Chain A
Amino acid sequence: METQLTPLPLMELKDVSKSFRHENTDYMVLENINLQIREGEFIALVGPSGCGKSTLLRIINGLIPATKGQLQYKGKPQTSMNMECGMVFQAFALLPWLTVSQNIELALQARNVPDKDSKRIAAHYIDKVGLDGHEEAYPRELSGGMKQRVGFARALAVEPEMLLMDEPFSALDPLTSANLREEVLDIWLDPQVRVNTVIMITHLIEEAVEMADRVIVLGSGPGRILKEVTIDLPRPRNRNSEGFQNYMGEIFALIT
């Protein structure tokens, strides 16, 4: 008899399907998704456009309900919004009439954190993502990279268990992306930051292989998991290494 040594997964999806109804027809967006997410993992979701990765992410944190199947979080069924998830958006999703500090404090105020504390906590995370000096800036004064930093700080400020990112760097130029990718990894590895588990959607295979422990490759028509590729490379990862290139080739072949 073998004893289970592996810990309970943080989140588990069992036979999850999602369909949308449009003008009397049902469109199956995701079909029979079975997925386990373990604590401390960095997971990347890749796939062609239309494969439902955005939908899958939103099912994971409860923004969208699944049509069929079960979600379990920490062993218990998840039926509503999961408040242990922070989220970073491709289009930044900042409120234009609030300053950097106010945008971050809002997330804390939503959790009934008293004003004095929310200012202090916001300042702490502003410092962490390098926004010190920009506290009073409005989003329209900021470049894309800075706006996304605000997005990160806001997601991290509530100290969630999981960080979900929907194509966080797609709207940024290649250099800023390169910069922020490193900083996200630094934050993830930072023992002082509570967030251990990250799920990131990306359309760049290179980005997925560089950052993730495990890459979930989705196929379309309807969306389903083609394969889970575990990236067994030490960090920091070298793009030019044979291992890196092999993984890229494998994933690329699956998608096309």
Chain B
Amino acid sequence: MDDTNDKKPIALAPPTDVYPIPNTGISEILGLLEVLDDRQGKEKVYTLARDLQMEFGQLLLVIKAAEVLEFVYTPGTDVVLKALGKKMIEIDMNSKKKILLQQLRRLPLFRVAKEKLVEAENHKLAKTEVLELLKSLLPRERPELVFETLINWGRWGEFLGYSQDDGYVYLDQG
């Protein structure tokens, strides 16, 4: 595509602290918090997998995501609900989103995304540019999957927006 000559190059040396986010949804994470709360806030991972009849790998992904968002922590083979996690399931929908937004702001991936969007023209980036960015930040991950999760979580936190029709990712100021 020839119009890329007009845009600023996006790929730079990847900041070393950007780590990937597990490819799972927010509903699953909230569900995990609910389930833990039912069990007094603590449970062994394999017990959870067994009781929920979930695929172990999938469960681990959700636990990891919850950990990244600081709702749980995982000492040994347990998964434990943190105070923030417990709060998440007690409050109403809009407050949940505020906390999620707050947590997203702490993740390096989202910080970088926000930086790039702020710098960009009209504060929006084409999907292809975002994919390039993700490829350079996380070379070992499949950019499409990271994109999916980025947009998913971003929309939840009302942090990012994405319109498939015009192909642009933008900052959600609303």
Q: Which residues of A contact B161 (CB under 8 A)?
A: 133, 136
Known contacts A137-B164, A173-B58, A174-B53; decide if A179 and B93 are in contact (CB<8 Å): no
CA distance in complex: A187, B16 (Å) = 43
Q: Which residues of B contact A239 (CB under 8 A)?
A: 38
Interface pair A179/B163, CB less than 8 Å apart = no
Interface pair A143/B152, CB less than 8 Å apart = yes
Interface pair B31/A174, CB less than 8 Å apart = yes
The interface stretch among B22-30, B70-78, B115-123 is B22-30
Q: Which residues of A contact B156 (CB under 8 A)?
A: 130, 133-134
Q: How many residues of chain B get a CB closer than 8 Å to chain A's CBs?
A: 37
Interface pair A175/B32, CB less than 8 Å apart = yes
Interface pair A182/B25, CB less than 8 Å apart = no
Question: CB-CB contacts of B40-66 with A at 8 A, as 1s and 0s?
Answer: 000000000000111000110010000
Interface pair A175/B93, CB less than 8 Å apart = no
Question: CB-CB contacts of A126-153 with B at 8 A, as 1s and 0s?
Answer: 0111101110111001010110010000
Residue with the highest number of chain B CB atoms closer than 10 Å, among A177, A178, A180: A178
State which of A127, A128, A179 has its C-beta within 8 Å of the C-beta of B27: A179
Near A by CB (< 8 A), chain B positions 94-135 give 94, 96-97
Tell me whether B68 is interfacial, beta carbon within 8 Å. no
Total CB contacts across the A-B interface at under 8 A: 87
CA distance in complex: A186, B30 (Å) = 14
Interface pair B97/A173, CB less than 8 Å apart = no
Known contacts A174-B52, A179-B34; decide if A127 and B94 are in contact (CB<8 Å): yes
Interface pair B164/A141, CB less than 8 Å apart = yes
Interface pair A146/B27, CB less than 8 Å apart = yes
Interface pair A133/B158, CB less than 8 Å apart = yes
CB proximity of A248 to chain B, nearest CB, Å: 15
CA distance in complex: A239, B96 (Å) = 25
Q: Which residues of A contact B52 (CB under 8 A)?
A: 174-175
Pairs of residues from A and B, 7 with the lowest C-beta to C-beta distance, nearest first: A175-B31, A145-B27, A179-B31, A133-B155, A178-B31, A174-B52, A179-B30
Q: Which residues of B contact A134 (CB under 8 A)?
A: 155-156
State which of B25, B94, B157 has its C-beta within 8 Å of the C-beta of A143: B25
Tell me whether A80 is interfacial, beta carbon within 8 Å. no
Tell me whether A176 is interfacial, beta carbon within 8 Å. yes
Tell me whether B141 is interfacial, beta carbon within 8 Å. no
CA distance in complex: A92, B172 (Å) = 27
CB proximity of B70 to chain A, nearest CB, Å: 18
Interface pair B164/A130, CB less than 8 Å apart = no
CB proximity of B26 to chain A, nearest CB, Å: 8
Interface pair A132/B97, CB less than 8 Å apart = yes
- For the A-B complex with A136-B161, A175-B28, A178-B34 known, give 4 more contacts whose Cβ atoms are closer than 8 Å: A130-B97, A173-B58, A174-B53, A176-B28
Tell me whether B151 is interfacial, beta carbon within 8 Å. yes
Tell me whether B138 is interfacial, beta carbon within 8 Å. no
Q: Which residues of B contact A145 (CB under 8 A)?
A: 25, 27-28
27 A–B contacts from the bound complex (CB under 8 Å): A127-B94, A129-B93, A130-B97, A133-B156, A133-B157, A133-B161, A133-B172, A134-B155, A136-B162, A141-B151, A141-B162, A143-B25, A143-B28, A145-B25, A173-B54, A173-B58, A174-B53, A174-B54, A175-B28, A175-B31, A175-B54, A176-B25, A176-B31, A177-B31, A179-B28, A180-B27, A180-B31
